[in-house]
Structure 1
Amino acid sequence: MDLFFECKRNLMSCFEFVLLITSVGLCSSTINYCDRSLCGRGQHIGCNATKGFAHACGKNAEYIPMDAKLKEIILNKHNTLRAKMAQGFSGFPPAQRMPTLVWDDELATVASFNARRCKFRHDNCRNTKEFKYSGQNLAMAKFRGKAVNPDERAAFFLQKWFDEYRHCPKSIIAKFPFSYKGPQIGHFTLMMNDRVWKVGCSMVRYKSAKWTNLFFVCNYSMNNILGRPVYTGGKTASKCQTDQNAKFKGLCSTEEKI
């Protein structure tokens, strides 16, 4: 299932972005990506993958390091927004058991296989041995002129994904639809999914024609499942198996594993 959304260009900054989501999963470099048990059908994104960039990336492509600062920005933004939703926000029900997201290096590594292709599309299979139904959000910024700060842009993408709540019918929280033709909501629902407890992201910068592109990929430990709740509504954190997070009120602690 692919959901697509595109914003109009901001003429002042010569900036535009595109967002995309799919139901996917990925692997780490220690796994035999060509093992067909990971995918069933189709080729795994990591099968015969290298650490280099694809031809589409051009000569000056660069990987944006996921250093401690950028990881913290990504996790804090996710968890701040999840905590807001878990406490009840904008008419959405509170969440009984919304885990705090923690970083996963394997998810991030496999996300980089997609990012280093420099093509804004999803691969056919990215399952890991631990996460059989991994979800994914993609975003891309195209800009020229003044350089875009990757840290700021990552936070911007995450906020835009969350802002889809404005178009999300409340009923979808209780049951993700088998058929949906409304405005984009998939990024938001995946970010708020209460079966997700790990995330890993990757970012690549490359040039095409007159544009510089910033391609951002986040992989999650679970995906939206058709016919299943996005999260279970009820008294905030009432079903946490561990303590509630002291920093992100409404979320279960970082020890909560799904």
Structure 2
Amino acid sequence: MSYFEFVLLITCSGLCSSTTNYCDRSLCGHGQHIGCNAIKGFAPACGKNAEYIPMDAKMKEIILNKHNTLRAKMARGFSGFPPAQRMPTLMWDDELATVASFNARRCKFRHDNCRNTKEFKYSGQNLAMARFRGKAVNPDERAAFFLQKWFDEYRHCPKSIIAKFPLSYKGPQIGHFTLMMNDRVWKVGCSMVRYKSGKWTNLFFVCNYSMNNILGRPVYTGGKTASKCQTGQNAKFKGLCSTKENGV
């Protein structure tokens, strides 16, 4: 028999080398960057047999296709939400994936304080974890499952939040969904670690984004689908702007 639990926390292999000095105070303003004096390998909380799940071409395609399929659905107008005037196609970013790995290798289910890069000064983050015992879980399938669960928060998201992300919010969790649908986001990088705790095997999934939800700002601008795309539309993901469009 297989046992499974799923947890969410509020929106390259991930081991790529970087020349960025993550201890540079200009990256965070205050607080310490997750990559400053980052641990080598895995933290003690990960145990002895922790391993990275490779962010290979197949996994990247799964993550990007799932994100963009869901973003395109929203951009065309979905479940009473307005269509999006300018929703960029999400592209992979190796440095965002590397920084995500700094969190993942700690094996502690919590957001880091700062994950910015020189290119992306306001990076957002979504986290998920699955724990199971018995039959092994396919990491590719689990990544797609995590992304769908994040998107499914739309069921609890007031439509008014799309026009203005609230300064205070006390309702059901919606931050994963709104970050996935943010029209200022155009890059993503993720990392996944598998580790054991007692009889349980855990999959910890971290995705870092090129922008975060901004209080008082729209999640995306509603209007005629793709009417404000500056580089044309994506032929594969109907409703999204082309892959040349960034989130600025």
Query: How does the TM-score come out when normalised to structure 2?
Result: 0.96
Distance 2:11 2:18 in 1: 22
Asked if structure 2 preserves the Cα contact closer than 8 Å seen for 1:79 and 1:101, the reply is: yes
Counterpart among 28, 31, 41 of residue 30 in structure 2: 41
Pairing of 1:202-213 with structure 2 (within 5 A): 202-213=191-202
For each residue in 1:153-188, what CA deviation from the matched residue of structure 2 results, as whole angstroms up to 9, or x when unmatched?
000000000000001000000000011111110000
Secondary structure (helix, strand or coil) at the match of 1:16 reads strand
Asked if structure 2 preserves the Cα contact closer than 8 Å seen for 1:53 and 1:116, the reply is: yes
Check 1:23–1:126 CA distance in 2 against 1; reply closer, same or farther (3 A cut). farther
Match for residue 244 of structure 1?
A: 233
Q: Residue 50 of structure 1: CA displacement?
A: 3.7
Check 1:26–1:89 CA distance in 2 against 1; reply closer, same or farther (3 A cut). farther
Check 1:167–1:231 CA distance in 2 against 1; reply closer, same or farther (3 A cut). same
Q: Residue 25 of structure 1: CA displacement?
A: 15
Check 1:205–1:197 CA distance in 2 against 1; reply closer, same or farther (3 A cut). same
Distance 1:229 1:172 in 2: 7
- Which range is displaced more, 75-84 or 32-41? 32-41
Asked if structure 2 preserves the Cα contact closer than 8 Å seen for 1:22 and 1:122, the reply is: no
Query: How does the TM-score come out when normalised to structure 1?
Result: 0.92
Asked if structure 2 preserves the Cα contact closer than 8 Å seen for 1:98 and 1:251, the reply is: yes
Q: Residue 16 of structure 1: CA displacement?
A: 0.9
Distance 1:83 1:200 in 2: 19
Check 1:82–1:148 CA distance in 2 against 1; reply closer, same or farther (3 A cut). same
Segments ≥4 residues shifted beyond 3 Å:
22-28
Distance 2:4 2:131 in 1: 6
Asked if structure 2 preserves the Cα contact closer than 8 Å seen for 1:15 and 1:143, the reply is: yes
Structure 2: gaps (5+ residues): none
Q: Residue 218 of structure 1: CA displacement?
A: 0.3
- Which range is displaced more, 32-41 or 193-202? 32-41
Check 1:148–1:25 CA distance in 2 against 1; reply closer, same or farther (3 A cut). closer
Check 1:187–1:22 CA distance in 2 against 1; reply closer, same or farther (3 A cut). closer
Match for residue 148 of structure 1?
A: 137
Q: Residue 24 of structure 1: CA displacement?
A: 21
Check 1:24–1:68 CA distance in 2 against 1; reply closer, same or farther (3 A cut). closer
Asked if structure 2 preserves the Cα contact closer than 8 Å seen for 1:26 and 1:125, the reply is: no
Asked if structure 2 preserves the Cα contact closer than 8 Å seen for 1:24 and 1:125, the reply is: no
Counterpart among 42, 53, 57 of residue 46 in structure 2: 57
Q: Residue 243 of structure 1: CA displacement?
A: 1.1
Q: Residue 17 of structure 1: CA displacement?
A: 1.1
Asked if structure 2 preserves the Cα contact closer than 8 Å seen for 1:24 and 1:135, the reply is: no
Match for residue 4 of structure 1?
A: none
Distance 2:206 2:121 in 1: 18
Check 1:24–1:230 CA distance in 2 against 1; reply closer, same or farther (3 A cut). farther
Q: Residue 99 of structure 1: CA displacement?
A: 0.2
Pairing of 1:1-258 with structure 2 (within 5 A): 13-21=2-10, 29-257=18-246, 258=248
Q: Residue 30 of structure 1: CA displacement?
A: 1.3
Distance 1:88 1:23 in 2: 33
Q: Percent of aligned pairs with the same residue?
A: 93
Check 1:22–1:238 CA distance in 2 against 1; reply closer, same or farther (3 A cut). closer
For each residue in 1:83-105, what CA deviation from the matched residue of structure 2 results, as whole angstroms up to 9, or x when unmatched?
00000000000000000000000
Q: Residue 22 of structure 1: CA displacement?
A: 6.2
Distance 1:93 1:138 in 2: 26
For each residue in 1:196-215, what CA deviation from the matched residue of structure 2 results, as whole angstroms up to 9, or x when unmatched?
00000000000001110000
Structure 1: gaps (5+ residues): 1-11
Q: Residue 34 of structure 1: CA displacement?
A: 1.0
Check 1:26–1:95 CA distance in 2 against 1; reply closer, same or farther (3 A cut). farther
Q: Residue 29 of structure 1: CA displacement?
A: 2.7
Check 1:16–1:200 CA distance in 2 against 1; reply closer, same or farther (3 A cut). same
Asked if structure 2 preserves the Cα contact closer than 8 Å seen for 1:26 and 1:107, the reply is: no
